[in-house]
Structure 1
C-alpha cells in the first residue's frame, strides 16, 4: 500500500468515526498534497464538517470538496406502482 493510500484510509476512518460527520459513503482520494472529497450528504452543515474534520486530521493538505448536498426528506405525494 502506498503512502497516499494509507493516508486516504486514515482520513476515511476519521470521517467515519468523528461524531460531526459519521459518513461512510464519502470518497476520500489523496494525490500528493491534495485531498479530494466526493459523494453525497444530507445537508450543507455536514459538508462543511467534512472539511473541518479533514483539516484537523491533516492540516498540511489542501482539500477539494466536491461533495453534493442531496436532502433526504420525506417523499412527496404517492408513489404509483404499476
Structure 2
C-alpha cells in the first residue's frame, strides 16, 4: 500500500467513526495534497460535516467535494406493482 492509500483508509475510518458523520458510503481518494470525496448523502448539513471531519483529521489537505445531496423524503402517493 502507498502512503496515499493509508491516508485514504485513515480518513474513511474517521468518517465512519466520528459521531458527526458515521458515514460508510462516501468514497475517499487521496492524490498528493488533495482529497476527493464522492458519493451521496441525505442533507447539506451532512455534506458539510464530512468536510469538517476531514479538516480535523488532515488540515493540510485540500478537500475536493463531489458529494451529492439526495433527499430521502418519504414517498408521495401509492406505488403500484404489477
* TM-based fold match above 0.5: yes
Q: Gapped runs of 5+ residues in structure 1?
A: none
Aligned partners of 1:70, 1:62: CA distance in 2, in Å? 24
Which residues of 2 match residues 7-18 of structure 1 at below 5 A? 7-18=7-18
CA drift at 1:48: 0.2
Q: Normalising to structure 1: TM-score of the pair?
A: 0.98
How many positions carry a matched residue from both structures? 82
Aligned partners of 1:29, 1:58: CA distance in 2, in Å? 13
Aligned partners of 1:76, 1:22: CA distance in 2, in Å? 28
Runs of 4+ in structure 1 over 3 Å off: none
Supply the RMSD in Å over aligned alpha carbons. Answer: 0.4
SS in 2 for 1:13: helix
Q: Gapped runs of 5+ residues in structure 2?
A: none
Report what 2:79 is aligned to.
79
SS in 1 for 2:48: helix
